[in-house]
């Protein structure tokens, strides 16, 4: 579904991503793990069209998407939940969700989309008139994911959905990620915290200093001696 080949990208002359190749199959959840500064957010920005790669190719459903504008990529069915959610804090939950369904393809499905995200996140109905900035971190993350789903994506990208949240809240966020996968969405998430993210992923990529240092199935990841030592503390 998503195929990234030999991607190089950076900021000015500063190269961040070096020869990155990643695939996400339809209905799969893929986790890209790696330490702070590895290039995880840069990778998602490039896929979302917010940053132009210097070389390499990105195909989505067999169409080339690198070089397309961010709104075109949303129209094609890829949505990004940026780190921290980036809701409009002074707007209500409802208005934030409206912002998510503004593209041409999905505007007319606003009501259906709203029903669907409310069935996933009950909080949306209870709090629809609340100002987003007054919600807790976990609630904001849920609304941010809901807003991304309002654009009816086929592929949902999550930038560190657990960042800054208490362990109990993190567990419930990953429960939602699982539920989203069960509803048939493909998911590409990046995370620093290894253990929780691994549980919901089918495939894992390890990104270090902008290079893919490992990729494989969850089971291979958990059994890899180097990963056990460096990331799992075993």
Ligand X SMILES: Nc1ncnc2c1ncn2[C@@H]1O[C@H](COP(=O)(O)OP(=O)(O)O)[C@@H](O)[C@H]1O
User: What binding mask, one character per residue, do residues 42-81 give for ligand X by CB under 6 A, x or -?
Assistant: x---------------------------------------
Q: Is 38 in the site for ligand X (CB under 6 A)?
A: yes
Distances (CA, A) of 39 to 65, 106, 169, 207, 225: 20, 31, 25, 7, 24
Nearest position to Mg ion, beta carbon: 41
Point out which span in 35-43, 71-79, 114-122, 141-149 binds ligand X (CB under 6 A).
35-43
Out of 41, 96, 113, 151, name the contact with Mg ion by CB under 5 A: 41
Bridge partners (DSSP) of residue 17 are 9
Q: Which residues partner with 22 through β-bridges? A: 4
Residues 154 and 234: their CA atoms lie apart, in Å, by 36
Per-residue CA distances from 231 to 93, 115, 199, 221 (Å): 37, 40, 14, 10
CA atoms within 13 A on the CB side of 126: 7
* 16 touches, from Mg ion, ligand X, none (C-beta below 5 to 8 Å by class): ligand X
Report the residue number, 150 or 165, with the smaller CB distance to ligand X. Answer: 165
Q: Site for ligand X (CB under 6 A): which residue of 1, 34, 66, 185?
A: 34
Cβ 68 to ligand X shortest distance, Å: 20
**In whole angstroms, what is the distance from residue 217 CA to residue 212 CA?**
14
Query: Binds 129, which of ligand X, Mg ion, none (CB < 5 to 8 A, cut-off by type)?
Result: none
CA triplet 177, 183, 184: central angle to 5 degrees? 100
* Shortest distance, position 80 Cβ to ligand X, whole Å: 13
Residues at the interface with Mg ion (CB under 5 A): 40-41
Residues at the interface with ligand X (CB under 6 A): 11, 14, 16, 34, 36-42
């Amino acid at each position: 579904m998503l195929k990234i080949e030999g991607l190089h990208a950076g900021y000015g002359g500063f190269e961040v991503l070096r020869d990155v190749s990643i695939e996400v199959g339809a209905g799969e959840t893929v986790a890209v793990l790696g330490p702070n500064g590895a290039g995880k957010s840069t990778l998602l920005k490039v896929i979302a069209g917010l940053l132009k790669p210097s070389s390499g190719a990105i195909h989505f459903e067999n169409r080339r998407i690198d070089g397309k504008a961010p709104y075109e990529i949303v129209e094609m069915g890829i949505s990004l939940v940026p780190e921290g959610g980036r809701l409009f804090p002074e707007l209500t939950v409802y208005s934030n969700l409206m912002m998510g369904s503004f593209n041409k393809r999905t505007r007319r499905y606003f009501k259906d989309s709203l029903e669907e995200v409310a069935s996933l996140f009950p909080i949306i109905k209870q709090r629809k008139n609340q100002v987003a900035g007054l919600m807790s971190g976990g609630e904001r993350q849920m609304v941010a994911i809901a807003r991304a789903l309002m654009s009816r994506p086929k592929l949902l990208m999550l930038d560190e959905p657990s960042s800054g949240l208490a362990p109990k809240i993190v567990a419930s966020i990953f429960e939602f990620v699982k539920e989203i996968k069960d509803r048939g969405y493909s998911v590409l998430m990046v995370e620093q915290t290894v253990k929780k993210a691994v549980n919901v992923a089918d495939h894992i990529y390890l990104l270090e200093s902008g290079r893919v240092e490992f990729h494989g199935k969850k089971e291979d990841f958990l059994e890899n001696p180097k990963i056990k030592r460096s990331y799992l503390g075993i």
